[in-house]
Structure 1
Amino acid sequence: MKRIHSVSLATVAVATLWASAAMAQSAPADAASDSETIIVTGTRTTGFKASDSPAPIQVLGSDSLKRVGQTDMIQTLAQQLPSVQAQAFGSDQAAFHPSIKLRGLNPNHTLILIDGKRRHGTSSVVVTGGPFGGNAAADISLIPQDAIERVEVLQDGAAAQYGTDAIAGVVNFILKHADHGGSVNLTGGKYFDQGGQRWDVMGNVGFAPFEDAYVNVTAERQFKNYSFRGDLDPRVVDTGLAAAANTGVNGGRYNINRFGTALTGQSKYPEVNQIAGDGRLQLTNVYASYGWQVSDDIELYGSSSYSKKIGKTWQNYRLPVVVFGKQRLPNNNFVVAGTSAACRNNMTIALCPETSADIPYPAGFRPQEKTVETDYSVQVGAKGEIGGTHWDITSTYGNNLSEIYVTGSANAALYYDSSSATSKGFSPTSSLNGEFIASQWTNTLDLAHDFDVGFAEPITVAAGLEYRREVFQLKAGDEASYYTGTGVAQGGIQSFFGYSPANASRNLRHNFSQYIDIAAKPLPELTLDGAVRHEHYDDFGDTTIFKATGRYDISPAIAVRGTVSTGFRAPTLAEGFYSGINVSVSSLSGIFAPNSPGAAALGIAGLKPEKSTNFSGGWVFKPIDKMVITIDAYSIKIKDRIVRSSSFLGYSNNCRFNVSTVCTAIVSPSVVTALRSNGVPVDSVIAAIDGGASGSVGVNAFVNGITSLTRGIDFLTTYSTDFDTYGKVDWSLAANYNVTKVTKVNPAPGNINQRQTILDVYASNDLTNTTPKFRATAGAYWTLGNFTVNLRESYYGNSYAIISTPNNGLAQEKLSAGTAFITDLELGYQIAEPLKLSIGANNLFNKYPNKYPQFIRDQQYAISSTAYITKYPTFSPYGINGGYYYGRIAFKF
């Protein structure tokens, strides 16, 4: 040990950073101490340390939570814990409901617990495809850092122990229960380049209202501003293709030659389309935990939470001709010369809206989507001991409401239909598009008793019951949000077609489960744990699953451990019953509820549960004092995995107006029929895109589409070094290698063109290759007197999507985010015992992912495509905003 301590700090730092290039993922900087924490997750036996667990588990202490520049819990976990990957960018509602996934699986496969009790999910389902599609898991951004004592992440299948959606593992947030003291934290920062300004004020206080009781309260107020990382909108500039304006092709009729100077007065011209960036967020969180030790054998406890989240995101910029009335200019004069051939040859309002004197947005407009989320939960419980049997009974209710609005917009169909030859039309500029409500009421009884049967330690037998009631409700929006009209102009409020009464539904589920868990230590070196769980769903029937875990300590320095388990995940109510459509500038895309009449018309017979099999095995090494090394491999097979299907096209206009385009569309006329039967305004959309722009009409649905196989390896090592007068350094190095393969694709629905597949090459790749297979993070936390330095170097392997070129749908190209080293650095100084100042930067060297290939961007520009606005792949694992710097003032009392 003397030789190790004599090595210079610089040498060890270089060695650690070099190692990070060869390993993967993120670990807590103070994990050396966290590995000795007594855990409560993954075992019913009391007294286990994280390093002694028979299953891989990571622990983040309250100090570790503060070593990330952003204060939201998603970034806190993603930047510091192995096997956790965050959704770095989301559009529409997903912009404010980013999520995490564990071991490469969907967020729905990870169970979120608060003090060991199930947390309710969000009402807003992610309707995009890829690895986060269908996510309706608990919104952990609503959990303030200061409310948490520690986070325990069980990286192992635990459905038999905790419930049938813990296929990938469990994240357990342990609340603070202190009856004294507290803290106040003020954090502010912004992106290196532009936008993203944010601030956060968070405080925690504990007090004892009376003897043997505690109340611990945390409050947070957070703000984040817009950012923009896109390019100009080629529809509003002179692309050099003015001649195209006379042929009605390539969208040339949309360039500035047509609208003159009207567009140049638009805010932020020519970057009028601000869709490629973060939205604006205002967040309020309040958490409270409370308890009373009534007697030596009985404790009453509980917790409550309230959150309010208001978010706004920019939507695609709309050109002046999108909304128009019937009132014409005198003698049908054109606004400018050189209009489209369709307009010259057929003087109709639909094909030639520029002849209208009633254009309410002469400079176009930029709609916004606004999300108002209200979330609350209440938990009450009691626990104690009777005759050596530990008992715990709890009732928890949680509710999540998301209200979806569109502002700064208009319903073109309503505006046109309400106008006349002599009067202008009318449409509200804002509307409520719909409401989502998800609630969960969970009641549990847990019992545990130790039996001495002559083993090295007593056997722990635990058993329990759980009753759960879940509700998912979709309420229709204002009529102006979904009004379809006569079909001359596009129906639905622009940017986000509202939810009509046909989409509305209220759905209820009851679940009852029982489990038994037996943990034994027959020998001092051998730990065994087995669990069996039976669940009954009133909509899916019964299932029985199991888990068997073992650990053998070959010596005090070496242990081997392994697990085999099965899992079962019923579809969330949101996956089963969400329904809606979205109308963009030139297309209509819809999501059919899997059990809706429209889905049935396509041959989709609803959803059934997923079934999984999980194997894992690993080693634990303690070669020297204060060093712990863990290596765990895993294999997770999921049958009938729920994914969002590829788009089933009912109409495609991609090759009709551009002779250079190779048409590869697989069209199923039954899709248009199904949409019409559901009251969706297909005709008005086709009429709009029939005027010259390329576009399509299609639908998706959540389906039991595939069988997947996920395999990977987790690596973690921590060590603490004392350099005497040069301070102390806590080192950590973590790695994750994770590969998901689609081993089977289920057949397409019966009434779809059978050339179509459930998951085409694009959707399949989004699921398997848009997150890195390899990640690494090395951390060093140095303390010297009142001075601290936290350095984290993360490596992200390549991730990529498969895209087609604008001019040739058969030409598949790889869009790579590229590999990246990301450096995070924080410097802190303890001014006085209660006061600490910190400054830092995430992504210190302002690293961005690769841009779209230039030849693709050139083609997008040439056809005035709105896709040109997006320069960076939004699936980048570290985002598209570049570096972020911040400062923090922390006060403890």
Structure 2
Amino acid sequence: MTNVPSLVRIALVVALASSTAAFGQSPPGAAPEAPGGVDEQSDIIVTGTRASGITVAESAAPIKLVGADAISHVGQPNLNQVLTQLVPSFTAQGFGGDTANLTLSASLRGLNPNETLVLVNGKRRHGTSNLQVLASAFQGGAAPDLDYITPNAIDHIEVLEDGAAAQYGSDAIAGVINILLKHKDGGTFTATGGQYYKGDGETYSTSLNYGWSNDRGFVNFTGFYRYHNFSNRGQYDTRVYDPATGDVPATVNPTLAAAYRAMPGWPNINYIVGDARSKFGVGSYNAGYDLADSVQFYTFGTIGFRKAESYENVRLPDRVVGSSTIDPATGLFVAGTYGAPDALVPRPQGFEPQEAVRELDYQFTGGLKGDLAGFHWDLSGSYGADRAKIKTLNSINKSLYVDTHNDQSDFYDGFYRAAETVFNLDVSREIGSIATLAAGGEYRNNSYTIGGGEPNSYYGTGAQSFPGFNPLAAGRHARHNYAIYGDVALTPVEGLKLDGAVRYEDYSDFGHKTTWKATGRYDFTPAIAVRGTASTGFRAPTLAEEWYTAVNVSPTSATAQLAANSAAAKVLGIQNLKPETSRNYSAGLVLRPTSRLTVTIDAYQIRIRNRIVGSGSLAADTSNANDPVTRAIAAAGVVLEPGLPSFVSAFVNGPTTRTRGIDLVASYNADFDRFGKAVFTLSGAYNKTRITRAGAGTAIVPADELFNPQTYSFLTTTLPRWKVIGGVNWSLGAFNLVARETYYSQSVALLYNDNDPLAATSYAYSRVKPAALTDLELDYHLTERITLAVGANNLFDKQPEKVRFDQDGVLSGDTLVGGAPYTHGPYGINGGYYYGRIDVKF
């Protein structure tokens, strides 16, 4: 019964939307913008079709529009939060482990972040260099970082929820997010501040947008800065605390027990579960100028920085020790038995490392477009790059300390850099009102570089938590591809729209792919239309997935991530990555029973072969020199700490999946005369992913080790199947009220014990029950130019269920989760967030 109030709140929103029809005999006025979009009857779209003049309501493919006004009413100032609160098929990552916490990602239609193509002004956006490495539903993600497109710079967003590889190329399996930048006169200054109910995660941001235009051109600039502080949702750590006795576990010797009790914050000593601290700034521009009556020059771009730190698992006082014997010949400390009675302890109260990033991200696009002899042409070039310098702070290199007594605490680990160059030529011609013909070509060059760390960062076993990149891991990798496409959009008879596209791409590293798409729509009447699509698609593996190599060291285990395309992976029989391929189908219904009400329902199926996933953790038998996992570790030039359970993993092509779902959008404009105007919306997304064919093993590694149950759970159950958003935007005089209710169905993640991932008792389920979150904002227009707002996201402070511990304070089958009460959360783990904002227009 815990879900009844949540469902009732959604039902009330729907009931209000329906009941307003009784008032609907008066002519509709200028209603406020819908909480999730703009005017679907009149706003022209540019995504998903080569034809011009098409509105959302007329589109043959499912499109969602999110306008600037809707964006401005989302309390937390980042684009991931904007889309997750306004688009039901979009789910933002709540938190991430290690460096993933520094660059959070997102999913569309329950698929991997890499399977959604991001465009800005219709041009491809480069991906992040910070790969999502650790096991999760977002593992492998290296998609564009949406944070670098700031909300105040956006005019509107078009979300194409349909496969579109034949139109736009690789990555568009789940759909396309096209972000259209502002180009209007005037400006807005926005300042906001807020924090979580718990009193942490303080957030402050300022943004200034301003634009000028004349009859020949325009320019629009945006500057944005945001500070976000740490949050902490950890709890007691079972290594130092026994909840049954309220003290250190009885098995701990008295000396260490005293040291444990002296650790700061005991027994809640772990701060890894929570937000990173960050300072973040972006500058962007959008400009165009008519060089002649039929030729326009245009350019747009962004440049931004991020300085962020994220906590790692705490290391206990006995984590780094060594013999106190000095070799008189060298003056160096002699490596002895770890934990010996005479051990030196460089951090007597333990230590909590931080992983840090110093990131620079930029992309610039320039082009010419115009009309010539009845043809519309567009020639453009883009260059974008993301460079992330990685550091490990407040740590120690155990090998370095034992061998030389150097207790260095901060290390430069090296850097990632992802860069992309794209050139496009698009040509189209309209043949009356019957047809639009289009063709074009694209050349793209991608590179991915890992820069080596300082020698002390990877000496021996390397810095605790995140050793630096050794010379074998470092290197630059590149590929290029070219593509040609053709597209035809037809209106052969009144009410019928047909669209077909075919695209050929050739990659330097794995060959060529041809994809196609067919789309149709028929309007029986102005009130009823049906539409459908069928298409094929593909996703090329990112260079990061192909070439990333690194080591992760937890307090109780060490894992080497092997590059899939490396010689070390070949020791285990792992082959070079190849593209994922997809086949998409959709069918939909568009209803417009009145001028105020629009309803769209679209069902779809997406079948993806050769899904690129993170392998299971393959255990090394370090006592056996012929053990293939041990040999693979050596081939990668990696040294793992003696005595710790050691593993390797890699990205591999694996299972075939089938995702089926339904998307629903309904909006109603209401005019209550003296009681104001309102827009009611109801939108929902359902998707279910199944494994239709399991991944195959290699000649060395059996399938059940390469793909464990946890791997499959991250594909099928970790993201909620249902997400429903009910909203209202009500305007009355100087006041404006925006309310949203978002319902998430249950999600389940399967966890395993790193000490023995193959044991039957190693697995345990982490369930997040269904929940509904309420967002509420009240605006007051102090003057025509100044607006004050107060609001809350997750008003009633909903948080995922904590991991269930047994009577010994340990998750069944997993002794390593102490201090980490949350393992996943589709709506985040931090609870309620309240904020205030001031907007000034000029």
TM-score range, shorter chain: over 0.9
* Preserved contact between residue 650 and residue 668 of structure 1 (Cα < 8 Å): no
Which of these residues, 638, 642, 648, is aligned with residue 686 of structure 1?
Answer: 642
Matched, 1:774 2:774: no
Which of these residues, 631, 643, 656, is aligned with residue 673 of structure 1?
Answer: 631
Between the aligned partners of 1:856 and 1:132, the Cα distance in structure 2 is 32
Q: Which residue of 2 aligns with 1:58?
A: 64
- Deviates further, 158-167 or 801-810: 801-810
Classify 1:501/1:545 alpha carbon distance in 2 versus 1 (closer, same or farther; 3 Å): same
Matched, 1:765 2:723: no
1:268 deviates by: 2.8
Classify 1:59/1:211 alpha carbon distance in 2 versus 1 (closer, same or farther; 3 Å): closer
1:677 deviates by: 2.7
1:326 deviates by: 3.1
* Preserved contact between residue 89 and residue 95 of structure 1 (Cα < 8 Å): yes
* Preserved contact between residue 234 and residue 861 of structure 1 (Cα < 8 Å): no
Between the aligned partners of 2:474 and 2:164, the Cα distance in structure 1 is 35
Classify 1:299/1:328 alpha carbon distance in 2 versus 1 (closer, same or farther; 3 Å): same
SS in 1 for 2:611: strand
Matched, 1:831 2:765: no
Which of these residues, 851, 866, 879, is aligned with residue 802 of structure 2?
Answer: 851
Q: Which residue of 2 aligns with 1:488?
A: none
Between the aligned partners of 2:677 and 2:817, the Cα distance in structure 1 is 51
Which of these residues, 222, 227, 246, is aligned with residue 218 of structure 1?
Answer: 222
1:263 deviates by: 4.4
Q: Which residue of 2 aligns with 1:427?
A: 407
- Any residues of structure 2 matched to 1:395-544 within 5 Å, and which? 395-418=381-404, 425-452=405-432, 457-484=433-460, 491-544=461-514
- Any residues of structure 2 matched to 1:371-382 within 5 Å, and which? 371-382=357-368
Q: Structure 1 counterpart of 2:663, which letter?
A: D
Q: Which residue of 1 aligns with 2:767?
A: 816
Q: Which residue of 2 aligns with 1:788?
A: 736
Between the aligned partners of 2:751 and 2:168, the Cα distance in structure 1 is 40
Q: Which residue of 2 aligns with 1:229?
A: 233
Unpaired runs of 5+ in structure 2? Answer: 1-8, 20-32, 327-333
TM-superposition CA deviations, 1:754-791 (whole Å, max 9, x none): 37343211211121100101111100111001101111
Q: Structure 2 counterpart of 1:744, which letter?
A: R
TM-superposition CA deviations, 1:427-480 (whole Å, max 9, x none): 32111112101100000001011124xxxx231101101011110111111111
Q: Structure 2 counterpart of 1:303, which letter?
A: F
Q: Which residue of 2 aligns with 1:598?
A: 568
- Deviates further, 496-505 or 712-721: 496-505
* Preserved contact between residue 112 and residue 138 of structure 2 (Cα < 8 Å): yes
* Preserved contact between residue 80 and residue 106 of structure 2 (Cα < 8 Å): yes
- Deviates further, 550-559 or 259-268: 259-268
Classify 1:861/1:124 alpha carbon distance in 2 versus 1 (closer, same or farther; 3 Å): same
Classify 1:112/1:228 alpha carbon distance in 2 versus 1 (closer, same or farther; 3 Å): same
Classify 1:539/1:191 alpha carbon distance in 2 versus 1 (closer, same or farther; 3 Å): same
* Preserved contact between residue 299 and residue 367 of structure 2 (Cα < 8 Å): yes
Between the aligned partners of 2:524 and 2:550, the Cα distance in structure 1 is 57
Classify 1:542/1:11 alpha carbon distance in 2 versus 1 (closer, same or farther; 3 Å): closer
Q: Which residue of 2 aligns with 1:868?
A: 818
1:94 deviates by: 1.0
Q: Which residue of 2 aligns with 1:23?
A: none
Classify 1:650/1:174 alpha carbon distance in 2 versus 1 (closer, same or farther; 3 Å): same
1:35 deviates by: 5.1
1:242 deviates by: 12
Classify 1:755/1:168 alpha carbon distance in 2 versus 1 (closer, same or farther; 3 Å): closer
Classify 1:812/1:478 alpha carbon distance in 2 versus 1 (closer, same or farther; 3 Å): closer
TM-score between the two structures when normalised by the length of structure 1: 0.87
The alignment yields a C-alpha RMSD, in angstroms, of 2.6
Q: Which residue of 2 aligns with 1:340?
A: none
Q: Structure 1 counterpart of 2:649, which letter?
A: N
1:697 deviates by: 1.3
- Any residues of structure 2 matched to 1:711-722 within 5 Å, and which? 711-722=660-671
- Any residues of structure 2 matched to 1:549-564 within 5 Å, and which? 549-564=519-534
Q: Which residue of 1 aligns with 2:119?
A: 113
Q: Which residue of 2 aligns with 1:609?
A: 579
Classify 1:18/1:579 alpha carbon distance in 2 versus 1 (closer, same or farther; 3 Å): farther
1:400 deviates by: 0.5
Between the aligned partners of 1:860 and 1:292, the Cα distance in structure 2 is 62
Classify 1:847/1:131 alpha carbon distance in 2 versus 1 (closer, same or farther; 3 Å): same
Q: Which residue of 2 aligns with 1:93?
A: 99
* Preserved contact between residue 242 and residue 248 of structure 2 (Cα < 8 Å): no
- Deviates further, 36-45 or 112-121: 36-45
SS in 1 for 2:568: helix
| Number of residues of Structure 1 aligned to a counterpart in Structure 2 | 811
Classify 1:30/1:439 alpha carbon distance in 2 versus 1 (closer, same or farther; 3 Å): closer
Matched, 1:40 2:26: no
SS in 2 for 1:581: strand
Q: Which residue of 2 aligns with 1:888?
A: 837
Which of these residues, 736, 749, 759, is aligned with residue 801 of structure 1?
Answer: 749
1:28 deviates by: 5.2
Which of these residues, 267, 282, 290, is aligned with residue 287 of structure 2?
Answer: 290
Q: Structure 2 counterpart of 1:686, which letter?
A: P
1:11 deviates by: 10
- Deviates further, 296-305 or 234-243: 234-243
* Preserved contact between residue 87 and residue 877 of structure 1 (Cα < 8 Å): yes
Between the aligned partners of 1:266 and 1:301, the Cα distance in structure 2 is 58
Q: Which residue of 2 aligns with 1:5?
A: none
Classify 1:856/1:602 alpha carbon distance in 2 versus 1 (closer, same or farther; 3 Å): farther
Which of these residues, 725, 732, 735, is aligned with residue 681 of structure 2?
Answer: 732
SS in 1 for 2:198: coil
* Preserved contact between residue 142 and residue 544 of structure 2 (Cα < 8 Å): yes
Q: Which residue of 2 aligns with 1:129?
A: 135
Between the aligned partners of 1:857 and 1:222, the Cα distance in structure 2 is 42
Q: Structure 2 counterpart of 1:869, which letter?
A: G
Q: Which residue of 1 aligns with 2:144?
A: 138
SS in 2 for 1:764: helix
1:379 deviates by: 1.0
SS in 2 for 1:889: strand
SS in 2 for 1:602: coil
Matched, 1:195 2:179: no
TM-score between the two structures when normalised by the length of structure 2: 0.92
1:325 deviates by: 4.1
Matched, 1:570 2:570: no
1:748 deviates by: 1.1
Q: Structure 2 counterpart of 1:443, which letter?
A: F
1:570 deviates by: 1.4
Which of these residues, 304, 318, 322, is aligned with residue 321 of structure 1?
Answer: 318
Between the aligned partners of 1:260 and 1:811, the Cα distance in structure 2 is 28
Matched, 1:169 2:175: yes
Q: Structure 2 counterpart of 1:272, which letter?
A: I
SS in 2 for 1:74: helix
TM-superposition CA deviations, 1:309-328 (whole Å, max 9, x none): 11101111112222234326
Which of these residues, 308, 311, 314, is aligned with residue 311 of structure 1?
Answer: 308
Between the aligned partners of 1:861 and 1:494, the Cα distance in structure 2 is 27
Between the aligned partners of 1:443 and 1:508, the Cα distance in structure 2 is 17
* Preserved contact between residue 322 and residue 339 of structure 2 (Cα < 8 Å): no
Between the aligned partners of 1:888 and 1:651, the Cα distance in structure 2 is 57
Identity %: 40
- Deviates further, 539-548 or 56-65: 539-548
Between the aligned partners of 1:583 and 1:834, the Cα distance in structure 2 is 54
1:101 deviates by: 1.5
1:722 deviates by: 0.6
* Preserved contact between residue 778 and residue 794 of structure 1 (Cα < 8 Å): yes
Between the aligned partners of 2:325 and 2:17, the Cα distance in structure 1 is 69
* Preserved contact between residue 65 and residue 157 of structure 2 (Cα < 8 Å): yes
* Preserved contact between residue 321 and residue 338 of structure 2 (Cα < 8 Å): no
Between the aligned partners of 2:101 and 2:472, the Cα distance in structure 1 is 26
- Deviates further, 163-172 or 92-101: 92-101
